[in-house]
Structure formats: C-alpha cells, structure tokens
Amino acid sequence: MTSTTSPAPREDGRADDELRPIRFTRHWLDHAAGSVLVEFGKTRVLCAASASEGVPRWRKGSGLGWVTAEYAMLPAATNTRSDRESVKGRIGGRTHEISRLIGRSLRAIVDYKALGENTIQIDCDVLQADGGTRTAAITGAYVALADAVAHLRAQGALKGEPLTGSVAAVSVGIIDGVPRLDLPYVEDVRADTDMNVVMTGDGGFVEVQGTAEGAAFARAELDALLDLAAGGCAELIRLQREALGS
Amino acid sequence: MTSTTSPAPREDGRADDELRPIRFTRHWLDHAAGSVLVEFGKTRVLCAASASEGVPRWRKGSGLGWVTAEYAMLPAATNTRSDRESVKGRIGGRTHEISRLIGRSLRAIVDYKALGENTIQIDCDVLQADGGTRTAAITGAYVALADAVAHLRAQGALKGEPLTGSVAAVSVGIIDGVPRLDLPYVEDVRADTDMNVVMTGDGGFVEVQGTAEGAAFARAELDALLDLAAGGCAELIRLQREALGS
Amino acid sequence: MTSTTSPAPREDGRADDELRPIRFTRHWLDHAAGSVLVEFGKTRVLCAASASEGVPRWRKGSGLGWVTAEYAMLPAATNTRSDRESVKGRIGGRTHEISRLIGRSLRAIVDYKALGENTIQIDCDVLQADGGTRTAAITGAYVALADAVAHLRAQGALKGEPLTGSVAAVSVGIIDGVPRLDLPYVEDVRADTDMNVVMTGDGGFVEVQGTAEGAAFARAELDALLDLAAGGCAELIRLQREALGS
Amino acid sequence: MTSTTSPAPREDGRADDELRPIRFTRHWLDHAAGSVLVEFGKTRVLCAASASEGVPRWRKGSGLGWVTAEYAMLPAATNTRSDRESVKGRIGGRTHEISRLIGRSLRAIVDYKALGENTIQIDCDVLQADGGTRTAAITGAYVALADAVAHLRAQGALKGEPLTGSVAAVSVGIIDGVPRLDLPYVEDVRADTDMNVVMTGDGGFVEVQGTAEGAAFARAELDALLDLAAGGCAELIRLQREALGS
Amino acid sequence: MTSTTSPAPREDGRADDELRPIRFTRHWLDHAAGSVLVEFGKTRVLCAASASEGVPRWRKGSGLGWVTAEYAMLPAATNTRSDRESVKGRIGGRTHEISRLIGRSLRAIVDYKALGENTIQIDCDVLQADGGTRTAAITGAYVALADAVAHLRAQGALKGEPLTGSVAAVSVGIIDGVPRLDLPYVEDVRADTDMNVVMTGDGGFVEVQGTAEGAAFARAELDALLDLAAGGCAELIRLQREALGS
Amino acid sequence: MTSTTSPAPREDGRADDELRPIRFTRHWLDHAAGSVLVEFGKTRVLCAASASEGVPRWRKGSGLGWVTAEYAMLPAATNTRSDRESVKGRIGGRTHEISRLIGRSLRAIVDYKALGENTIQIDCDVLQADGGTRTAAITGAYVALADAVAHLRAQGALKGEPLTGSVAAVSVGIIDGVPRLDLPYVEDVRADTDMNVVMTGDGGFVEVQGTAEGAAFARAELDALLDLAAGGCAELIRLQREALGS
C-alpha cells in the first residue's frame, strides 16, 4: 500500500491510508478447531473457532450448517478497567451489537449446504483494546474459521467447500477533516465520522456502518471513506491469504 | 415525489421510490411532554418523549442536558407472537441495537447546552410491525422530541434552542435487482441488500447501515441505494414539518 | 344506567354509579387472531389474543386447550414515566399479580375440552393509564378472546363452543364516605377502600378483591360496593355484547 | 367456637366453622427483634421481624417509619419439592403477590408517625405447607410485629404506640356446596370458591380476596363465606392476644 | 469426649475439644422422604431429603442415581438481617460454595449403582446461624439422606445398599493461639485460622478446607487442627448413629 | 528441584515432584498497572492488576485499601467449548469459588494500611486450561499485584510497603496411589484425591483445600501431599522472585 501525503501527521507516523502493523498468530490455542491471535497495532483479539457436530434445534434436519459468533472484552483490555458482563448479569448493547455484526459478516461467505449439519462457533475475545476491536475481530475470525473448516475437511465432515470467499473489515473515519484508515483509540475518540466496513475478498460490501459522531457527514465524505476502506480491506485480505499460506 | 417506472410492480402498487402512506398523530398521549403515533403503512409506532429535570449522575453539574431512547415491540406486533423481553428477563441484541441507533440519531441534532440540565427520554414502542420499524421510530421520535422541547420552552426550562435541525430515517433495499424505498415486511425478507439511512433536514448523513443479506453488494448498488434514501428522507422531513405545522 | 344524586360531585361530572365512556375498537391489529383497543375514559389498553396450535408441555395429550394472559404497561403510560421491566430485567409484583388475575378471570368462562389442544395467549398492554387498567384489561381481553375463538372456529380448529359465558370487570371504591363506580386515577389515590370485581355475564362472581387503603371497612360498606360493582359489570357486559354485534 | 353440624364430615373431623389447632411459639429465634413459629395444623410458618433504624431513601426525613414483608417457601415445604426461587433467579408471581398482601395487611394497623423513622422488616418463611400459608403468615406476622414493637419500645426508639390494632387472616371456601373455615391442602384443591379474608381486631375488613376456582359464585355464597371468615378471624385475634399474654 | 484444660476459658464454658450440644430431631417435616432439624448449639439447620424417580438428563440410561444438595440461609437467621438471594436475583459465592461442598461430601459415601436411577435432593436451610452452619448442614444432611434411603428401600426402589458409609463435619480453628473445636460465631470471627473438616465414619478425610484469616499457619498448627477435627467427627458420627437408632 | 523415581511414569515424563515448565511474561498488557501471562505447561492465565484511587463505599474513610479478584475462563479455553457466563446471565459456583479463593490468598500478604485508600482489582482470565488454572492464577496474580504496587509506589500513592510477603499456589493429587505435584488435566480427572495448597514465601499455609474424588483419604496421604505441595510452592516462589528480578 502506497502512502499518501497528508497535512496533519498521525501520532503513530502512519500515512492516512496506511494500516497499523497487522499480525496473525495462528494455532494460538491447542483445543479449538481454529484459533488466531490477531493484532491491529496494539489491539489484540483472540479468535477461536470451535466446531461441533449438529446444529441448533430450529435447524435440525435441514441439511444446513450454522456459523455464529460471540464478542467480548476482558475487563482490563481498556484504559480504565470495565466491569465484567458476567458479574453484571447482563450483556451490554455494544457487545450484543458487535457479536451480531461478526456473525453476519462470516455468514456472508459461508455455504451452509457444503458445511453440512455442523456448527462453527467463533469466540472473539479482546485481550487488549486500542480502537478497531470489531474490525480486527472480523478479520481474525475469518482466519480461525478457515482453519476450523480445514479441520472439518480433514475429518471428512464436509459436503463441499463451505467458504465461498473471504471476509475482512476495517475502520475509517474523518479526523480534523481528513479521512483516515484503521483508527487507533486516540483517533477514534476524536473522529467526526466513524465507519466500519466489511468486505469480501472479491471487493463486495458485506456491511457498511457509518455514524456521525459530531456533525452529519456529506455524501462526498462518505464516498471518500468508502474508497479508503476498500483499499484497507484489500490489503487485509492479502495479509489473511499470506497468513493462511494460500 | 414523482414515481418512476419499474419492471416488477410492488405488491402494494407503489413506485420503487415511493414511500408508504405516512401518518403522524400528535399528542396521542395525555401525560408525555411529546407523543406521536407514527405510521409507515401498517407499521405503527407510538413515540413518547418524557421530559424531566436533571441529568444522569455522570453528567451532573456539567450544564449539559441528555437525550436517550428505548425501543421495544409489543408481543403481538408481529405476524407470529414473540415472547416478552421482560418475561425472558433480558433484552435481546436487536432491541439493544435499535435503541442505541435511535438515541444516536436524535443526539445528532441536539445542542446539549441549550437544553440545560434536563433529560428527555424517548420511548418508541412498536404496536404493529410491517417492516421499517426502526426508521419509523426515528422519524416519529423526532416529532415527539420537538413537541417535548416546545413543552420545556413553554415552561421556561431551556437556555436556547436545543434542536439544531431535524432528523428522519428510511429503509432501502435491493429486491430482485431493483433498488426500492421503504420496504414493508414482504419485501424486507426478500431483499438481497438492506440499508437503513438516517439523515438530517439539511441533507447530511447521520447513520448509514447497509447489510448484504445474500451476496455482497457492489459500490454501484450502494450508490443507488443512497440516492433513493436521500429522496425518501427529504420527503419524510417535509412531512414532519407539515405535521409540526411549521 | 340511571344516575343517582350524590352530595360531592365527581370531577368528571359522572353520577356515583356511572361508568366512564367505554369504547371498544375491534381488529386494531392486523396479525392477532383477535384484538381490541379498549378505553375506559382516558385509560387505554390494547388487548391482543394470539391463537396457536398446541398447548404447553405439561398439558400435551390431555385433549385440553389453554388460555393465558400477560399484562404490561408502556413506560410513558403513566403521569411520571416508569422504568421498563425488560430493562430492569425483572417483572414487578404488581405486573405479576395483574397478569395472573386476567388469566384466572378468562379461564373462568372457558371450556378447555371444546377449545381442543389450542393455546390462546392474551396480551394486555396499557398504552395510557388513568385508573382501572386491570378492569379495562379484563373487559377488553374478553372481546379479543371472543374474536380469537371466532377465528379458530372459522378455521375448523374447535371441538365445540369454548366460551361458556362472558366476563367483565370494574373497580369500585369509597371516596369521602361515598361508594363510587369505575374510579379514575384522581379518585383511586383518594379512595379509603378500593375493590376490583370480576363478574360473568349471568351475574356470578369470579373475583372479588377489596383492600382497605386507609381504615378497615365495615361489612355494610362491602355490601354497598358489591351492589355498585354488580350494576357496573352488567352494563359492561351489555356494551361487550353490543361491540361484538351479538 | 361452637361447632355446627354439616352433612359431609371433614377429613380431620373438624366442624365446618372450626379452625385447625393453632399454635404460636414466640421467640423462636435469638436474633430477630420479634419471631414466632405459627402453626395452623400442619402448616408451619416462621415469622421474623427485624427492626432497624432508618427508612428507605424515598421516605427519609419524613419522620415516618416503614413496615414491609417478604414471603417465601422452603423447597421441601410442599408435597412435591419445588425449585428454589434464588436458583431460578427470579421470584414467582405467587410469591410476589403474597408478600405484597402481608405487607398491606400489617400496614393497615400501623401508625407510622408513632413508629418514627424505623423500619420493621417481616420475613415469613413457610417451613411446611398444608394450605392457608398466607393466612397463617399474616396471623403470625402480627405477633412477631408486636414483639418487635415491644423491643423498640424497650429501647426507647418509639414516639408513641405504632400499633393501632391487631390483624389476623383466615381462608374460607366452598367444598361440595358447603362453606368451610380454614382449609387444609386437601380441601383447598377441591374448593369451588376460595377466599382469604384479613380482618382487624375490632372486626373491620382489611382485605377480601375471593376467587371462583370452578363456577362463578353467587352473592349468597359470598355472604356465607364472609360470615364464616369473620368468626374465624375473631377466634384468631383471641388466640393472638392469649399468645402475647395481654 | 473428655475435656482438656486450656488457659483461656471459652465463653460457653466448653473444653477446647468439646462439641456444642448436638441435637437431631428426625422427621421434622411430613412430606420429605427424610428430614431432620439439626442443632449445633444455637445453630439450627433444617435438612430435607426429597427422593424422586429418574435422574438429570445427562445421566439418563446410565443405571446410576444422583445426589445433590442446596444450602441457603433465611434472612433473619443471622445477627443482622441479610437480603434474600431470590430477591437479589442471584446466588452469592458463599452459598454456591457451601452447596457444592455439601453435595461432594454426601456423594463420597454413595454407591450410585445401588441407588439406581433415583435422585435424592438435599435441602439445607439455615433457620438460625451461630457459626458452623456448613458443618451442621453436612452432619444433618447425612441423617436426612439415611432416612430417605430407608424410605426408598421400603418402596423397593433400590438395587442394593446406596450408603457405603456415613459422613460428618466439624469446624476447628485457632483462637488466641489455642486450637478449638466447633466454633460458635463469637469464636469464628476471632479465629486466626479456620478449618472445616469432613470425615467418613471409618475415619477417612473427605474434605479439608483450611484458611488463614490473619497470618499464615504453620504445619504444626495444621496438624493440631486435624487431630482435633478427627476427634470431633468421631463423636458426631457416634451421635448420628444414636439418632438413627442403629 | 531434584526429581525422584516413581513406579508409574507421568505422561509428560516429569518426576512426581516436578513442576511443569513455568513461565511468567510480565507487562503483557499496556494499560493495566500490572499484568502477567503466566503459564503452567499448557495452562495459560492472563493476570491483570488494575489500580484505582478510592475504596468500596463500606470501607471509605477507614484509611485502609482493598484488594479483590475475579477469575473467569474463555469459552474456548477448554477441550470442549463451554458457554459464556455473561450469556447465561449468571456466574457459576466454580467461578465464584475460585474468585474468592484468589482474593483471600492475595489478601493474606497485604498490609491495607500501607496500601492506603487505594483499590487493586486483579483479573485472572484463563486463556487456555490444562489443569491447575486456579493455582496458576494465584501464582500469576501475585506477580501482577507486585507490579501494580510498584506502579503505585512510583506515583507516590502508598503509605508504606503493602506487601508483607509473597504467595504462590500449586495443586497436588494422588494418582494410582502415587502423590504427584502440579497436575495437568489428564492427571486431574484420574486423581483419587485432589488438593490445592496456597503458601507464603516464608513457608506458611494460607489455604489448604483437599477433596476426596473417589475414596476418602488417610491422614498419611494428606501428610504426603502437604510435603509435596510445600516443595512445589517453594520452587514457585523462587521463580516469581526471578521473574520480578528481585
């Protein structure tokens, strides 16, 4: 990815269209069918894919598989310790929202028939948070999912290729009027507009979620952010492929 | 709004860029500072704005007000009765997600300083659901909010004009390859891509949430949906103004 | 109903033994098997009856149907907004109590054998509260139930006539020493004694719940209240019949 | 209490208007300000009254005291073990209903001003259930309350006499057409009509809760039940006085 | 048990190696298969064993039985009233911990094959707490269990002798440097080290749980406590046998 | 630590009194005052110590600090995925029990006066579980706590040395009659007796928790296990010191 010049330099010295250092450490866990510790700079998410025979009751007998995801954050992941949701006895709205987003994103590239009546459960646990935890989670979850699928294939449990493509996600935002890629926490809190974009390996959009934090944003800004995100996702897809050695 | 021709006619006979019949019944409740029964076709949402002195503890002494929202659906609002979240003892992810969306959308046009240390709580209860409940809720919530603000002004409780603009929302989607505005339930379930767009009265974007239900969508499709949504929101803004008699 | 003279006139000008204006709007919802918006003055309750095949597990194979009810109040229904029970994560004692009362009242006039293994779930949601919400809910629930039964009959799902009668309810109370019928909120809070009476169409008692709010009440007062309630229920039964067009 | 003849003899040989053997064992606990193990035949309820300085936040500074009650049943109290509400994580409707009833009944004979800003919390735990647990609980709770008041008086914590009277409760019902007093479980399940009546020491009604279990009941039956209950409560009041040695 | 001399006399005059007065009142409940009110001085625990056919789902078809236990404390059992866990909506850590301990202790002497596919549920409810509630609960639970087993045997529901031994428990602690047996509350709060020991009738250890409340304890102290506990458990086993008349 | 010969070799080739490879990775997190990833073989626990000014309400104004701990396990940490406690809405008994154990263990070596009115919250999250997660958690928690204390000292927030010593923990058990140190999962499930021992740096016992999984254990076995644990804890204390570079 070529860096472009920008008037206000980023605190970490990156170009506006440059990703943070991305790292995938596969097989981080011994038990899970697939697992990866994904890092977007200081953001660190442990993605684990557990495969089990069978599907939820409402899907039994359909011949179709199921993929679902849960997102959570360790209490000490953030700057200021946050309370445990298990202790509070209820899951917060933000957690719910992100879990659902990850699940939808993955399901966009899954062929349930080929998966057969197997369930893959993805757990994305944020060990350290520095902005972009949901996009790191999606990007890592795909790698864990790919490993879990390979694991199921090795066991002869599949009826075809369940992955119809790959998926990655990145955040973009407008800081002081400048569109930027992959925001760390310090930029995220200052962003006027904040957008998370999930894309497939062949450049299709799976999710676009843009929010005006301050003033509403114009169509031209939206367009610039989408361009920036498309570039970032393409790079992430390349890095995923590299990590998976394919 | 001029209707355009479209190859596959909609079940309710509307043009692709045509809203369902929109109706605002203001002052539907006697107690709330502002209330409106908003209807987008058969979708019927009761929006109530309760105003109270003071703000949540974490905001005390700041001189700033607070606006928050809760969304819920009556059990019999949908085709098949759904269980009560109060009975289940927990709020579902979808409910959380929509409540947060409504709150963010309204806050985009609120000047907290002018509101002073007052809280406006918006309740959006879906009495009947036929697609687009969240967009109807946002659109109606603005009207209830405007009435609540007028109520506070009449009481001399404000420090200026707390509303910096207006806000409305509409759903758009691609059905059988055709972009359509304001989807009822029958279209919603068939949509390949589903998008909710929240816009201000002067045409800025507050929220853009697009989801590929089936295949990922291309940038051109995204652009077409945004165009359609902009038209729909402009019309809704006009109808809100009409309803508010301003 | 003839009005009687009374020393202290009621705020709304009614005679002591006069009901508030009663209104039933049937088929208020498109999906539910039966639905009615019932109004006792400003008290407005949406009663929806959902019919489904089958019965709870503990009743399966018995050949008997089941009727159950849930009562809830929208947050903005009351003078001062009340918190949502779904948000609090638990149902309050009052809600529990009233849900159970409605269920028992309806079950008093249901023949489970004739209903067959079908379940009718009644939801009574108070949209606006001005006293007597539980009695309005019971009175409206009967109408919704009757419509749901008609719906099941039209589908050929019944084994006979499941309704052995009709049921209605009214509140009575002693205000400043005077027994009064159908108390609105302003009277309710001032009542020394408060009683809710549920009766069948042929004048039998289903529930009698009297509570001394201040001093204990004498047998003579109890007798006067029962007389007043019997008159009110008879009138409500007449209005139900009228609404149902039978 | 003189026994009357009745066509169908009761299983335990009692006359229709005869109470079960009633026993109060005061000071059953060492810590509570007042405590009594009350027995209505095999029904055994431990009533404990805990006194503490201060009142709930919403009542602070009012100069008024507070009395509240909680009812619960041990899992093994009934014929078939019931699940613990603490394990289920929610309180059932019946428990809520009875707790509220006990609280209201006691508050009917309390002068809050004389109590001063003290709180008395009554716990009624059913150790063994054989019908009439709520009426035994109310009847015993009064004795525990009286002891707690004496305890507070000895401490010089009162501003007058907080008890304006005494209160007792009994169940009545119609079994095979015959009105009967103080129903044990075997009669309770067979009753056509079931009524709980709470009365003060000077013969006033505090609560009347009658329910038709089968067919609706006639006014004459209601009158007969009220007569029977009045006799039973008078006898219980006498026994309370005897137990309290006053 | 012979008493030994000790420098600092205990408040209740016991020797350091002397149990409080122990009392077992069997058949305290009419319904439960086995029940006992066990008293360790002022500590009073009602232990009820409910027997039911069948086992939890995960054990079905195994031919094995199941024994489980729940511990709870009445609100007024302690010096200062504690809140009800059912009202708080969650079970506290201490309750969980003790319930699990009781279950494990009993399971140590149960032969599941001989029990057959029957479940025995033990409920230990502390009616009054004065230290050592968990050890009293275990000791009493064994007696209730033995009675429940006898009950099942009388019904011909067993496949052999399910009890492979007996089990009892006692607390020990170091107070002012002196090891003491069976601590009441006043000693418990002052103990430097606190240990609960569960032993079988033939002198084996089932559970040893020692905790340094203040400074860590030395091996010699640990040894002294274990000696003391062994003596106490032996005496309790003798008393259990006596109570069971065997 | 010298290895001894043993008849049955361990699956991982260790001597019976040999620890698994122990690893402490300090400063694993950027935000927490202290953090360490501790590994006991494949068991991996992330311990984070968050320091904050102030203490819980019940301790305010006492001049004393507070140390507390929470333990949790990621869903994919175990062989078979376990459900999230946040999703279940309640914390399990085992989690509660271990959280309390960690807290007590740490508090045994803390001088609250020297800590001043500061709170240190320790989070122990098991990322991968292979037996001994609670002992690894305690051992790691001490290191994180030491780092957090150093952090507070650097800020000048302390009133002295809050750590009166160090603390470590290890599991021991009897497998096929042979006492063994530091059990991995495969040994843990086969153990007849299982014990967790927490000791201070100067060889005192903080907690001893022994459980007979199968048959009760004899005093001689208990003694052998305590010897083994003492050796293991001494070695862990040495490794902690090494890791802390002191």
The H helix count followed by the E strand count for chain D is 6, 9
Interface probe, candidates E20, E42, E74, chain D, greatest D C-beta count within 10 A: E74
| Chain C residues touching residue D218 (CB < 8 angstroms) | 204-205
- pLDDT of chain F along its 246 residues, tens only? 344 444 568 999 999 999 999 999 999 999 899 999 999 999 999 999 999 999 999 999 999 999 999 999 999 999 899 999 998 888 888 999 999 999 999 999 999 999 999 999 999 999 999 999 999 999 999 999 999 999 999 999 999 999 999 999 999 999 989 999 999 999 999 998 999 999 999 999 999 999 998 789 999 999 999 999 999 999 999 999 999 996
Torsion (CA) F160, F165, F166, F167 in degrees, nearest 10:
-120
Smallest CA–CA distance, residue C73 to chain D, in Å, is 17
Give D86-104 pLDDT, tens digit per residue: 888 888 889 999 999 999 9
Q: Determine, for residues F212 and E216 on separate chains, whether the beta-carbon distance falls below 8 Å.
A: no
Annotated binding site of D: 94, 132-134
Give E2-25 pLDDT, tens digit per residue: 444 545 689 999 999 999 999 999
pLDDT at B215: 84
Q: How far apart are CA A68 and CA A49, in angstroms?
A: 10
Q: Determine, for residues C216 and D96 on separate chains, whether the beta-carbon distance falls below 8 Å.
A: no
| Chain C residues touching residue B46 (CB < 8 angstroms) | 74, 127
- Which amino acid appears at position D85 of this protein? E
Q: How far apart are CA D193 and CA D228, in angstroms?
A: 13
The single-letter DSSP state of residue B58 is G
Q: How far apart are CA A48 and CA A163, in angstroms?
A: 17
Report DSSP letters for D1-20, one per residue: ------SS--TT---TT-PP
Smallest CA–CA distance, residue E71 to chain D, in Å, is 10
Task: Look at residue D125 and give its three-state secondary structure.
Answer: strand
pLDDT at residue D55 is higher than 70: yes
Query: CB-side exposure of E50: number of CA atoms within 13 Å?
Result: 21
First to last CA, chain D: 20
Sign of the CA dihedral with C10 first, then C13, C16, and C22 last: negative
Q: For chain A, what percent of residues have pLDDT higher than 70?
A: 96
When pLDDT is averaged across residues B40-62 and rounded to a whole number, the result is 95
Q: Determine, for residues E77 and D123 on separate chains, whether the beta-carbon distance falls below 8 Å.
A: no
When pLDDT is averaged across residues A229-246 and rounded to a whole number, the result is 96
| Chain A residues touching residue F130 (CB < 8 angstroms) | 30
Q: Determine, for residues F92 and E96 on separate chains, whether the beta-carbon distance falls below 8 Å.
A: yes
Q: Determine, for residues B74 and C46 on separate chains, whether the beta-carbon distance falls below 8 Å.
A: yes
ipTM for the assembly: 0.92
Nearest to F29 among A85, A95, A128 (CB): A128
- Write out the residues of chain F at the interface with chain E, using a CB-CB cutoff of 8 A: 90-94, 96-97, 99-100, 104, 108, 165, 195, 199-200, 202, 204-212, 215-219, 222, 226, 230
Q: How far apart are CA B184 and CA B70, in angstroms?
A: 22
pLDDT at A128: 98
- Local confidence band at A2 (pLDDT 50, 70, 90 cut-offs): very low
The single-letter DSSP state of residue F203 is S
Smallest CA–CA distance, residue F30 to chain E, in Å, is 31
Smallest CA–CA distance, residue C170 to chain B, in Å, is 22
When pLDDT is averaged across residues D105-122 and rounded to a whole number, the result is 96
pLDDT at C7: 58
Interface probe, candidates A78, A127, A145, chain F, greatest F C-beta count within 10 A: A127
When pLDDT is averaged across residues C57-61 and rounded to a whole number, the result is 92
Structure-token match 């109570």, residue found: E243
Q: Determine, for residues A216 and B222 on separate chains, whether the beta-carbon distance falls below 8 Å.
A: no
Mean pLDDT of chain B: 94
pLDDT at B92: 87
Is residue E134 a known part of a binding site? yes
Task: Please tell me whether the overall predicted TM-score, pTM, comes out greater than 0.90 for this model.
Answer: no
Smallest CA–CA distance, residue F200 to chain E, in Å, is 7
Nearest to B204 among A97, A104, A216 (CB): A216
When pLDDT is averaged across residues E188-198 and rounded to a whole number, the result is 93
Q: Which two tokens stand for residue C3?
A: 């009005």
Chains in contact with E, counting 3 or more C-beta pairs less than 8 Å apart as contact: D, F
- Which amino acid appears at position F52 of this protein? S
Q: What residues have CB less than 8 Å from D92, skipping those under 6 apart? A: C96, D85
Interface probe, candidates E128, E130, E145, chain D, greatest D C-beta count within 10 A: E128
pLDDT at B7: 58
Give B136-160 pLDDT, tens digit per residue: 999 999 999 999 999 999 999 999 9
Is residue B190 a known part of a binding site? no
Nearest to D30 among E32, E74, E128 (CB): E128
Neighbours of E117 (CB within 10 A): 18
Annotated binding site of C for phosphate: 94, 132-134
Q: Determine, for residues C210 and D207 on separate chains, whether the beta-carbon distance falls below 8 Å.
A: yes
Q: How far apart are CA C126 and CA C78, in angstroms?
A: 9
pLDDT at residue D7 is higher than 90: no
Chains in contact with B, counting 3 or more C-beta pairs less than 8 Å apart as contact: A, C
Mean pLDDT of chain F: 94
Q: For chain F, what percent of residues have pLDDT higher than 70?
A: 96
- Write out the residues of chain F at the interface with chain A, using a CB-CB cutoff of 8 A: 29-32, 35, 42, 46, 48, 50, 52, 70, 72, 74-79, 81, 84-87, 89-91, 95, 121, 123, 125, 127-128, 130
pLDDT at F7: 58
Q: Which two tokens stand for residue A38?
A: 């994904």
Nearest to C204 among D94, D217, D226 (CB): D217
Give D186-224 pLDDT, tens digit per residue: 999 999 899 999 999 999 999 999 999 878 999 999 999
Query: Is D169 within 8 Å of D135 (Cβ atoms)?
Result: yes
pLDDT at E7: 58
C125 → chain B, closest CA residue: B74
Query: Is C211 within 8 Å of C202 (Cβ atoms)?
Result: no
pLDDT at C2: 44
Rg (CA), chain C: 18
Give A43-90 pLDDT, tens digit per residue: 999 999 999 999 999 999 999 999 999 999 999 999 899 999 998 888
Q: Which of F72, A97, C81 is nearest to B52 (CA)?
A: C81
Distances (CA, A) of D25 to A91, D46, D143, D244: 47, 9, 10, 10
Give D217-246 pLDDT, tens digit per residue: 999 999 999 999 999 999 999 999 999 996
Give E204-230 pLDDT, tens digit per residue: 999 999 999 878 999 999 999 999 999
